[in-house]
Amino acid sequence: MVKRRTSPNRLRQSLRKLTTWLKENRHGPLRVLMKRLNAKLRGYWNYYEVVGNYRSLAKFFHLAKRLLFKWLNRRSQRRSYRWSGFTRMCANLGLASPRITEPVKQPTLFP
């Protein structure tokens, strides 16, 4: 089975775009921010979800979560979250996690 994965250049480009978006939108209400971020993450998952690409999706998710943590802590001069409180907040507001929904294609014996 041939496995495909996200190009490292595309991954970096997507993270750069997410960083600029988080910088510009970090000051709004958390519920609105998380709703829009989930839409962005779902779009990324839908575009890059292929069998064999879960590792790249998980890497993007982890780095996106770290970026969100960084930019939420820059909302004021005081630190807003510790990592444990941040993960609880993400669980309460429902941060979208990666998943592969494309079915695995079984090889056929006769074409």
Model confidence over 101-111: pLDDT tens digits? 766 666 666 65
pLDDT confidence of residue 109: 63
Distance CA 14, CA 69 (A): 17
| Per-domain boundaries in the chain | 18-48+58-93
72 compared with 48, residue with greater pLDDT: 72
pTM of the predicted protein model: 0.84
Pick from 6, 38, 8, 7: which is nearest to 21 by CA? 38
